[in-house]
Structure 1
Amino acid sequence: MKRVVVIFAVAIAIAACKKSKPAPPAPAVEPDYTPSKTVLVFPAKDEACITGVSVSDMQSSVVFSWNNTINAESYVLYVKNLETGITAAAIDVLGTQKQVTLSKNTPYSWYVISKSSKTTATTQSDVWKFYNSGAGVISHPPFPADLLTPTFGQSISAVSGKIGLSWTGGDVDNDISTYDVYFGINSQPSLYQSNVSVNTLSGINVSSGTTYFWKVLTRDSKGNTSTSSTFQFTVN
Protein backbone atom coordinates (compact mmCIF):
# COMPACT_ATOMS: atom_id res chain seq x y z
CA MET A 1 0.00 0.00 0.00
CA LYS A 2 2.84 2.38 0.88
CA ARG A 3 4.43 1.62 -2.49
CA VAL A 4 1.26 2.61 -4.32
CA VAL A 5 1.04 5.86 -2.37
CA VAL A 6 4.67 6.71 -3.13
CA ILE A 7 4.23 6.03 -6.85
CA PHE A 8 1.08 8.15 -6.89
CA ALA A 9 2.85 11.02 -5.13
CA VAL A 10 5.77 10.87 -7.57
CA ALA A 11 3.35 10.96 -10.50
CA ILE A 12 1.63 14.03 -9.06
CA ALA A 13 5.00 15.75 -8.57
CA ILE A 14 6.06 15.03 -12.16
CA ALA A 15 2.74 16.33 -13.48
CA ALA A 16 3.11 19.47 -11.39
CA CYS A 17 6.60 20.05 -12.78
CA LYS A 18 5.31 19.67 -16.31
CA LYS A 19 2.51 22.16 -15.70
CA SER A 20 4.86 24.74 -14.23
CA LYS A 21 7.20 24.71 -17.25
CA PRO A 22 7.13 28.22 -18.80
CA ALA A 23 5.72 28.68 -22.29
CA PRO A 24 8.21 29.44 -25.09
CA PRO A 25 8.57 33.15 -25.88
CA ALA A 26 6.46 34.57 -28.70
CA PRO A 27 8.36 35.22 -31.93
CA ALA A 28 9.60 38.78 -32.29
CA VAL A 29 7.46 41.03 -34.49
CA GLU A 30 9.51 42.78 -37.14
CA PRO A 31 8.90 46.54 -37.16
CA ASP A 32 7.31 48.02 -40.27
CA TYR A 33 9.63 50.63 -41.75
CA THR A 34 7.48 51.33 -44.82
CA PRO A 35 7.40 55.12 -45.35
CA SER A 36 4.00 56.74 -45.21
CA LYS A 37 2.50 58.64 -48.15
CA THR A 38 3.66 62.23 -48.48
CA VAL A 39 1.31 65.14 -49.17
CA LEU A 40 2.29 67.44 -52.02
CA VAL A 41 2.39 71.18 -51.30
CA PHE A 42 3.68 73.18 -54.27
CA PRO A 43 3.21 73.66 -57.23
CA ALA A 44 -0.49 73.49 -56.40
CA LYS A 45 -2.82 71.03 -58.07
CA ASP A 46 -4.49 72.19 -61.31
CA GLU A 47 -3.20 75.75 -60.97
CA ALA A 48 -0.82 78.06 -62.79
CA CYS A 49 2.63 78.40 -61.25
CA ILE A 50 3.65 82.07 -61.50
CA THR A 51 6.28 82.22 -58.76
CA GLY A 52 9.15 80.60 -60.65
CA VAL A 53 12.39 82.56 -61.05
CA SER A 54 13.05 83.36 -64.70
CA VAL A 55 16.23 81.73 -66.01
CA SER A 56 15.77 82.72 -69.66
CA ASP A 57 13.02 83.65 -72.10
CA MET A 58 12.18 79.95 -72.34
CA GLN A 59 12.79 78.61 -68.83
CA SER A 60 12.14 79.33 -65.17
CA SER A 61 13.27 77.73 -61.92
CA VAL A 62 10.54 76.32 -59.67
CA VAL A 63 10.91 75.05 -56.08
CA PHE A 64 8.87 71.88 -55.49
CA SER A 65 7.83 71.14 -51.91
CA TRP A 66 6.03 68.38 -50.01
CA ASN A 67 5.44 67.28 -46.42
CA ASN A 68 7.82 65.10 -44.44
CA THR A 69 6.48 61.62 -43.69
CA ILE A 70 6.90 58.89 -41.08
CA ASN A 71 9.86 56.53 -41.73
CA ALA A 72 10.98 58.40 -44.86
CA GLU A 73 14.71 59.08 -45.09
CA SER A 74 14.79 60.35 -48.67
CA TYR A 75 12.51 61.09 -51.59
CA VAL A 76 12.46 60.80 -55.37
CA LEU A 77 10.78 63.66 -57.24
CA TYR A 78 9.32 62.89 -60.67
CA VAL A 79 8.35 65.76 -62.99
CA LYS A 80 6.75 65.01 -66.38
CA ASN A 81 6.45 67.43 -69.29
CA LEU A 82 2.91 66.76 -70.53
CA GLU A 83 3.69 68.08 -74.01
CA THR A 84 6.73 65.91 -74.70
CA GLY A 85 5.94 63.02 -72.35
CA ILE A 86 9.50 63.20 -70.96
CA THR A 87 9.88 62.53 -67.22
CA ALA A 88 12.83 63.80 -65.19
CA ALA A 89 13.68 62.38 -61.76
CA ALA A 90 15.56 63.94 -58.85
CA ILE A 91 16.83 60.93 -56.88
CA ASP A 92 17.57 60.74 -53.14
CA VAL A 93 16.36 64.18 -52.15
CA LEU A 94 17.13 64.36 -48.42
CA GLY A 95 14.79 67.22 -47.59
CA THR A 96 11.27 68.14 -48.65
CA GLN A 97 12.16 70.69 -51.34
CA LYS A 98 13.85 70.55 -54.71
CA GLN A 99 14.53 73.29 -57.24
CA VAL A 100 13.94 72.29 -60.87
CA THR A 101 14.36 74.25 -64.11
CA LEU A 102 11.29 73.96 -66.34
CA SER A 103 10.08 75.24 -69.69
CA LYS A 104 7.76 78.22 -69.54
CA ASN A 105 4.19 78.07 -70.83
CA THR A 106 4.18 74.30 -70.42
CA PRO A 107 1.92 71.86 -68.54
CA TYR A 108 3.54 69.41 -66.11
CA SER A 109 2.60 66.64 -63.71
CA TRP A 110 4.57 65.60 -60.63
CA TYR A 111 4.67 63.15 -57.76
CA VAL A 112 7.04 62.02 -54.99
CA ILE A 113 8.21 58.57 -53.86
CA SER A 114 9.08 58.15 -50.15
CA LYS A 115 12.03 55.84 -49.37
CA SER A 116 13.85 54.32 -46.37
CA SER A 117 17.19 52.49 -46.15
CA LYS A 118 15.58 50.01 -43.73
CA THR A 119 13.20 48.53 -46.31
CA THR A 120 12.80 48.12 -50.05
CA ALA A 121 9.14 49.16 -49.78
CA THR A 122 8.32 52.63 -51.09
CA THR A 123 5.18 54.77 -51.13
CA GLN A 124 3.99 57.09 -53.90
CA SER A 125 2.13 60.35 -53.41
CA ASP A 126 -0.83 61.52 -55.46
CA VAL A 127 -0.08 62.89 -58.94
CA TRP A 128 -0.68 66.62 -59.39
CA LYS A 129 -0.78 68.69 -62.58
CA PHE A 130 0.14 72.36 -62.95
CA TYR A 131 0.93 74.89 -65.66
CA ASN A 132 4.29 76.65 -65.54
CA SER A 133 3.36 80.14 -66.72
CA GLY A 134 5.46 82.62 -68.61
CA ALA A 135 5.36 86.40 -68.82
CA GLY A 136 2.14 87.88 -70.15
CA VAL A 137 0.14 84.63 -70.21
CA ILE A 138 -3.55 85.36 -69.66
CA SER A 139 -5.04 82.14 -71.06
CA HIS A 140 -3.67 78.66 -70.45
CA PRO A 141 -4.18 75.61 -72.69
CA PRO A 142 -6.02 72.67 -71.13
CA PHE A 143 -4.07 69.82 -69.61
CA PRO A 144 -3.87 66.79 -71.92
CA ALA A 145 -6.81 64.51 -71.10
CA ASP A 146 -6.24 61.43 -68.93
CA LEU A 147 -7.63 58.37 -70.74
CA LEU A 148 -9.47 56.14 -68.26
CA THR A 149 -11.09 53.23 -70.09
CA PRO A 150 -10.02 51.20 -71.91
CA THR A 151 -6.54 51.45 -70.41
CA PHE A 152 -3.36 51.09 -72.44
CA GLY A 153 -2.83 47.51 -73.60
CA GLN A 154 -6.07 46.26 -72.05
CA SER A 155 -8.06 43.34 -73.46
CA ILE A 156 -11.79 44.02 -73.19
CA SER A 157 -15.03 42.28 -74.08
CA ALA A 158 -17.62 44.05 -76.18
CA VAL A 159 -21.30 44.03 -75.29
CA SER A 160 -23.38 43.28 -78.39
CA GLY A 161 -20.38 44.33 -80.48
CA LYS A 162 -20.06 47.74 -78.83
CA ILE A 163 -17.70 49.39 -76.31
CA GLY A 164 -17.39 52.76 -74.57
CA LEU A 165 -14.57 55.25 -73.98
CA SER A 166 -14.07 57.50 -70.95
CA TRP A 167 -11.54 60.17 -69.97
CA THR A 168 -11.04 63.19 -67.70
CA GLY A 169 -10.00 66.72 -68.58
CA GLY A 170 -8.59 69.64 -66.63
CA ASP A 171 -7.78 73.30 -67.21
CA VAL A 172 -6.18 75.97 -65.02
CA ASP A 173 -8.75 78.49 -66.27
CA ASN A 174 -11.61 76.00 -65.86
CA ASP A 175 -12.93 76.80 -69.34
CA ILE A 176 -12.92 73.49 -71.23
CA SER A 177 -15.55 73.66 -73.96
CA THR A 178 -15.42 70.45 -76.01
CA TYR A 179 -13.44 67.33 -76.86
CA ASP A 180 -12.56 65.69 -80.18
CA VAL A 181 -12.24 61.90 -80.01
CA TYR A 182 -9.94 60.06 -82.39
CA PHE A 183 -10.50 56.32 -82.79
CA GLY A 184 -9.63 53.54 -85.23
CA ILE A 185 -7.41 50.60 -86.16
CA ASN A 186 -4.43 52.75 -87.21
CA SER A 187 -1.75 53.84 -84.73
CA GLN A 188 -2.57 57.42 -85.75
CA PRO A 189 -6.36 57.21 -85.36
CA SER A 190 -8.62 59.46 -87.40
CA LEU A 191 -11.29 61.78 -86.02
CA TYR A 192 -14.26 59.75 -84.79
CA GLN A 193 -16.45 62.45 -83.22
CA SER A 194 -15.90 66.17 -82.71
CA ASN A 195 -17.31 68.73 -80.28
CA VAL A 196 -18.10 66.19 -77.56
CA SER A 197 -19.28 68.02 -74.44
CA VAL A 198 -19.08 65.09 -71.99
CA ASN A 199 -16.27 62.77 -70.84
CA THR A 200 -17.63 59.54 -72.32
CA LEU A 201 -18.62 57.98 -75.62
CA SER A 202 -20.70 54.81 -75.79
CA GLY A 203 -22.08 52.53 -78.47
CA ILE A 204 -18.86 52.35 -80.50
CA ASN A 205 -18.90 49.42 -82.93
CA VAL A 206 -15.89 47.08 -82.70
CA SER A 207 -14.85 43.66 -84.01
CA SER A 208 -13.57 40.74 -81.97
CA GLY A 209 -9.84 40.04 -82.21
CA THR A 210 -9.04 43.58 -83.40
CA THR A 211 -6.65 46.12 -81.87
CA TYR A 212 -7.86 49.72 -81.69
CA PHE A 213 -6.19 53.05 -80.95
CA TRP A 214 -7.68 56.19 -79.42
CA LYS A 215 -6.83 59.66 -78.14
CA VAL A 216 -8.64 62.83 -77.10
CA LEU A 217 -8.09 66.46 -78.06
CA THR A 218 -9.26 68.97 -75.43
CA ARG A 219 -10.38 72.47 -76.44
CA ASP A 220 -11.08 75.48 -74.21
CA SER A 221 -13.26 78.54 -74.76
CA LYS A 222 -10.28 80.57 -76.04
CA GLY A 223 -9.50 78.00 -78.75
CA ASN A 224 -6.45 76.57 -76.94
CA THR A 225 -6.02 72.82 -77.39
CA SER A 226 -4.03 69.89 -76.04
CA THR A 227 -3.86 66.25 -77.10
CA SER A 228 -3.65 63.18 -74.90
CA SER A 229 -1.37 60.21 -75.33
CA THR A 230 -2.56 57.52 -77.75
CA PHE A 231 -3.81 54.33 -76.10
CA GLN A 232 -4.31 50.94 -77.70
CA PHE A 233 -6.53 48.05 -76.63
CA THR A 234 -7.73 44.75 -78.03
CA VAL A 235 -11.27 43.40 -78.21
CA ASN A 236 -11.58 39.77 -77.12
Structure 2
Amino acid sequence: MKQGFLLLLTCFFISCGGSDAPKPPDVAMLVFPEKNSECTTGIPIAGSNSSLVTFRWQASNHTESYTLRVTHLNLNTTETVVVTGTTKDLPLEKGAPYSWQVISKNTVVPTTAISETWFFYNTGTETSHAPFPATISSPKSGSTVLRDLNNQVLLTWEGADIDNDLEGYDVYFSTVKPPQTLAAKLNANSPQIKFNVAADTVYYWQIVSRDQEGNTATNSVSEFKVR
Protein backbone atom coordinates (compact mmCIF):
# COMPACT_ATOMS: atom_id res chain seq x y z
CA MET A 1 0.00 0.00 0.00
CA LYS A 2 2.79 2.37 0.93
CA GLN A 3 4.65 1.60 -2.30
CA GLY A 4 1.50 2.26 -4.32
CA PHE A 5 1.02 5.61 -2.60
CA LEU A 6 4.61 6.64 -3.35
CA LEU A 7 4.16 5.62 -6.98
CA LEU A 8 1.01 7.73 -7.30
CA LEU A 9 2.75 10.67 -5.62
CA THR A 10 5.68 10.42 -8.03
CA CYS A 11 3.37 10.32 -11.03
CA PHE A 12 1.51 13.36 -9.69
CA PHE A 13 4.68 15.46 -9.48
CA ILE A 14 5.83 14.32 -12.93
CA SER A 15 2.48 15.15 -14.54
CA CYS A 16 2.22 18.50 -12.76
CA GLY A 17 5.82 19.50 -13.27
CA GLY A 18 6.20 22.53 -15.49
CA SER A 19 7.89 22.35 -18.86
CA ASP A 20 11.14 24.16 -19.54
CA ALA A 21 10.81 27.93 -19.48
CA PRO A 22 10.69 29.62 -22.90
CA LYS A 23 14.16 30.46 -24.10
CA PRO A 24 15.29 33.65 -25.81
CA PRO A 25 17.03 33.41 -29.19
CA ASP A 26 20.79 33.11 -29.41
CA VAL A 27 22.97 35.58 -31.29
CA ALA A 28 23.45 34.83 -34.99
CA MET A 29 27.04 34.56 -36.21
CA LEU A 30 27.67 36.64 -39.33
CA VAL A 31 29.37 34.97 -42.30
CA PHE A 32 29.33 37.14 -45.44
CA PRO A 33 30.10 39.87 -46.48
CA GLU A 34 33.14 39.51 -44.27
CA LYS A 35 34.12 42.02 -41.60
CA ASN A 36 36.13 45.05 -42.79
CA SER A 37 36.35 43.70 -46.34
CA GLU A 38 35.62 44.58 -49.94
CA CYS A 39 32.78 42.47 -51.33
CA THR A 40 33.65 41.50 -54.90
CA THR A 41 31.01 38.82 -55.51
CA GLY A 42 28.00 41.04 -56.21
CA ILE A 43 26.13 40.36 -59.45
CA PRO A 44 25.87 43.55 -61.58
CA ILE A 45 22.33 44.80 -62.18
CA ALA A 46 21.89 45.93 -65.78
CA GLY A 47 21.19 49.62 -66.30
CA SER A 48 22.17 50.65 -62.79
CA ASN A 49 25.16 51.38 -60.57
CA SER A 50 24.16 48.54 -58.25
CA SER A 51 24.95 44.89 -57.77
CA LEU A 52 23.10 42.07 -56.03
CA VAL A 53 24.93 41.04 -52.86
CA THR A 54 24.17 37.87 -50.90
CA PHE A 55 24.18 38.14 -47.10
CA ARG A 56 24.77 34.96 -45.10
CA TRP A 57 24.82 34.10 -41.40
CA GLN A 58 24.67 30.99 -39.24
CA ALA A 59 21.39 29.78 -37.78
CA SER A 60 20.94 30.60 -34.09
CA ASN A 61 19.15 28.46 -31.51
CA HIS A 62 15.58 29.23 -30.38
CA THR A 63 15.06 31.53 -33.37
CA GLU A 64 12.02 31.75 -35.66
CA SER A 65 12.96 34.76 -37.77
CA TYR A 66 15.83 37.12 -38.47
CA THR A 67 15.79 40.85 -39.10
CA LEU A 68 18.59 41.88 -41.45
CA ARG A 69 19.63 45.55 -41.15
CA VAL A 70 21.91 46.99 -43.84
CA THR A 71 23.03 50.63 -43.57
CA HIS A 72 24.47 52.74 -46.39
CA LEU A 73 27.13 54.63 -44.44
CA ASN A 74 27.44 57.56 -46.84
CA LEU A 75 23.70 58.22 -46.96
CA ASN A 76 22.93 57.06 -43.40
CA THR A 77 19.94 55.09 -44.69
CA THR A 78 19.01 51.63 -43.43
CA GLU A 79 17.14 48.84 -45.20
CA THR A 80 15.43 46.32 -42.92
CA VAL A 81 14.08 42.95 -44.07
CA VAL A 82 12.66 40.01 -42.12
CA VAL A 83 13.50 36.48 -43.25
CA THR A 84 13.09 32.99 -41.82
CA GLY A 85 16.22 31.57 -43.44
CA THR A 86 19.89 32.47 -43.14
CA THR A 87 20.51 34.20 -46.46
CA LYS A 88 19.17 37.22 -48.32
CA ASP A 89 20.03 38.98 -51.60
CA LEU A 90 19.93 42.78 -51.67
CA PRO A 91 20.79 45.32 -54.39
CA LEU A 92 23.55 47.66 -53.18
CA GLU A 93 25.26 50.68 -54.68
CA LYS A 94 28.67 49.92 -56.14
CA GLY A 95 31.65 51.53 -54.45
CA ALA A 96 29.71 52.41 -51.29
CA PRO A 97 30.49 51.47 -47.67
CA TYR A 98 27.92 49.53 -45.67
CA SER A 99 27.34 48.08 -42.23
CA TRP A 100 25.13 45.10 -41.45
CA GLN A 101 23.77 43.16 -38.51
CA VAL A 102 21.19 40.45 -37.83
CA ILE A 103 18.60 40.41 -35.04
CA SER A 104 17.29 37.00 -33.93
CA LYS A 105 13.68 36.72 -32.75
CA ASN A 106 11.03 34.21 -31.71
CA THR A 107 7.36 34.49 -30.75
CA VAL A 108 7.55 33.03 -27.24
CA VAL A 109 9.68 35.72 -25.56
CA PRO A 110 10.04 39.45 -26.25
CA THR A 111 13.82 39.32 -25.89
CA THR A 112 15.87 39.60 -29.08
CA ALA A 113 19.53 38.87 -29.77
CA ILE A 114 21.60 41.35 -31.77
CA SER A 115 24.66 40.21 -33.69
CA GLU A 116 27.91 42.08 -34.15
CA THR A 117 27.93 44.91 -36.67
CA TRP A 118 30.26 44.33 -39.62
CA PHE A 119 31.50 46.88 -42.16
CA PHE A 120 32.29 46.29 -45.83
CA TYR A 121 32.59 48.03 -49.19
CA ASN A 122 30.57 46.87 -52.18
CA THR A 123 33.25 46.89 -54.85
CA GLY A 124 33.17 49.55 -57.54
CA THR A 125 35.70 51.48 -59.62
CA GLU A 126 37.25 53.37 -56.68
CA THR A 127 40.95 52.89 -56.00
CA SER A 128 40.96 54.78 -52.68
CA HIS A 129 38.52 54.12 -49.84
CA ALA A 130 37.69 56.04 -46.69
CA PRO A 131 38.28 54.24 -43.40
CA PHE A 132 35.39 52.43 -41.76
CA PRO A 133 33.84 54.29 -38.80
CA ALA A 134 35.55 53.41 -35.52
CA THR A 135 33.82 50.72 -33.46
CA ILE A 136 33.52 51.57 -29.77
CA SER A 137 34.94 48.95 -27.39
CA SER A 138 34.49 50.69 -24.04
CA PRO A 139 32.74 52.31 -22.37
CA LYS A 140 29.68 51.09 -24.23
CA SER A 141 27.25 53.84 -25.14
CA GLY A 142 24.64 54.32 -22.44
CA SER A 143 26.70 52.62 -19.75
CA THR A 144 27.62 53.84 -16.27
CA VAL A 145 31.29 53.57 -15.30
CA LEU A 146 33.59 54.14 -12.35
CA ARG A 147 36.64 56.39 -12.30
CA ASP A 148 40.04 54.90 -11.60
CA LEU A 149 42.24 56.06 -8.71
CA ASN A 150 43.41 59.02 -10.81
CA ASN A 151 39.83 60.13 -11.56
CA GLN A 152 40.17 58.99 -15.16
CA VAL A 153 38.25 56.76 -17.57
CA LEU A 154 39.88 54.76 -20.37
CA LEU A 155 38.23 55.03 -23.81
CA THR A 156 39.01 52.29 -26.34
CA TRP A 157 37.88 51.55 -29.89
CA GLU A 158 38.78 49.65 -33.06
CA GLY A 159 39.56 51.11 -36.47
CA ALA A 160 39.91 49.55 -39.92
CA ASP A 161 40.68 50.53 -43.51
CA ILE A 162 40.64 48.12 -46.45
CA ASP A 163 43.48 50.09 -48.09
CA ASN A 164 45.63 49.53 -44.99
CA ASP A 165 46.56 53.21 -44.88
CA LEU A 166 44.84 54.25 -41.65
CA GLU A 167 46.77 57.24 -40.31
CA GLY A 168 45.13 58.21 -37.04
CA TYR A 169 42.15 59.40 -35.03
CA ASP A 170 40.70 62.72 -33.91
CA VAL A 171 38.96 62.28 -30.56
CA TYR A 172 36.15 64.65 -29.62
CA PHE A 173 35.20 64.59 -25.94
CA SER A 174 32.83 66.85 -24.02
CA THR A 175 29.87 67.16 -21.66
CA VAL A 176 27.95 68.67 -24.58
CA LYS A 177 26.18 66.64 -27.28
CA PRO A 178 27.48 66.47 -29.92
CA PRO A 179 31.02 66.98 -28.62
CA GLN A 180 32.72 69.91 -30.35
CA THR A 181 36.03 69.87 -28.47
CA LEU A 182 38.94 68.19 -30.26
CA ALA A 183 40.51 66.60 -27.20
CA ALA A 184 43.26 64.54 -28.85
CA LYS A 185 44.90 63.58 -32.14
CA LEU A 186 46.29 60.04 -32.08
CA ASN A 187 48.14 57.82 -34.52
CA ALA A 188 46.65 54.61 -35.86
CA ASN A 189 48.55 52.48 -33.36
CA SER A 190 46.91 54.18 -30.38
CA PRO A 191 43.16 53.43 -30.40
CA GLN A 192 42.73 54.39 -26.75
CA ILE A 193 43.04 57.35 -24.42
CA LYS A 194 42.32 58.33 -20.82
CA PHE A 195 40.42 61.46 -19.82
CA ASN A 196 39.88 63.13 -16.47
CA VAL A 197 36.23 62.90 -15.44
CA ALA A 198 33.94 64.00 -12.61
CA ALA A 199 31.36 61.96 -10.72
CA ASP A 200 27.66 62.19 -11.59
CA THR A 201 28.45 63.59 -15.03
CA VAL A 202 27.48 62.44 -18.53
CA TYR A 203 30.18 62.58 -21.20
CA TYR A 204 29.89 62.39 -24.99
CA TRP A 205 32.61 61.29 -27.38
CA GLN A 206 33.14 60.71 -31.07
CA ILE A 207 35.98 59.43 -33.25
CA VAL A 208 37.03 60.72 -36.68
CA SER A 209 39.25 58.16 -38.43
CA ARG A 210 41.80 59.51 -40.95
CA ASP A 211 43.78 57.76 -43.68
CA GLN A 212 46.91 58.79 -45.58
CA GLU A 213 44.86 59.94 -48.60
CA GLY A 214 42.96 62.47 -46.51
CA ASN A 215 39.77 60.41 -46.38
CA THR A 216 37.82 60.46 -43.12
CA ALA A 217 34.98 58.59 -41.45
CA THR A 218 33.06 59.68 -38.35
CA ASN A 219 31.30 57.26 -36.04
CA SER A 220 28.13 57.93 -34.08
CA VAL A 221 28.23 59.90 -30.84
CA SER A 222 28.64 57.67 -27.78
CA GLU A 223 27.84 58.59 -24.21
CA PHE A 224 28.49 57.29 -20.73
CA LYS A 225 27.82 58.41 -17.18
CA VAL A 226 30.40 58.48 -14.41
CA ARG A 227 29.07 57.17 -11.12
TM-score by length of 2: 0.78
Q: Percentage identity across aligned positions?
A: 35
CA RMSD of aligned residues (A): 2.9
Q: Which amino acid aligns with 1:113?
A: I
- 1:149 corresponds to 2:138: yes
Gaps of 5+ in 2: none
Cα distance change on mapping 1:189 and 1:234 into 2, 3 Å: farther
The 1:213–1:36 alpha-carbon spacing in structure 2 relative to 1, beyond 3 Å, is closer
Quick one: distance in 2 between partners of 1:206 and 1:31? 43
Q: What per-residue deviation string (whole Å, max 9, x for no partner) do you get for residues 141-176 of structure 1?
A: 211001233332333333433332211112223332
Distance 2:223 2:102 in 1: 28
Matched, 1:201 2:187: no
> Larger C-alpha radius of gyration, 1 or 2?
1
> Which residue of the partner structure matches residue 101 of structure 1?
91
Residue aligning to 2:166 = 176
Query: Displacement, 1:34?
Result: 5.4
- Report what 1:13 is aligned to: none
**Letter aligned with residue 48 of structure 1:** E
Offset, 1:179:
1.1
Quick check: 1:189 aligned with 2:190? no
The one-letter amino acid paired with 1:24 is T
The residue number in structure 1 matching 2:10 is 24
The normalised TM-score by structure 1 is 0.75
- Verify the 8 A CA contact 2:22 2:108 in the aligned structure 1: no
Kept in 2, the 8 Å contact 1:35–1:72? The answer is yes
Give the unaligned 5+ runs of structure 1: 1-16
Query: Is contact 1:189-1:214 (8 Å) kept?
Result: no
Q: Deviations over 1:74-128 (max 9, x none)?
A: 322121233444432101x133321222233332222223444566565444432
- Matched residue count: 217
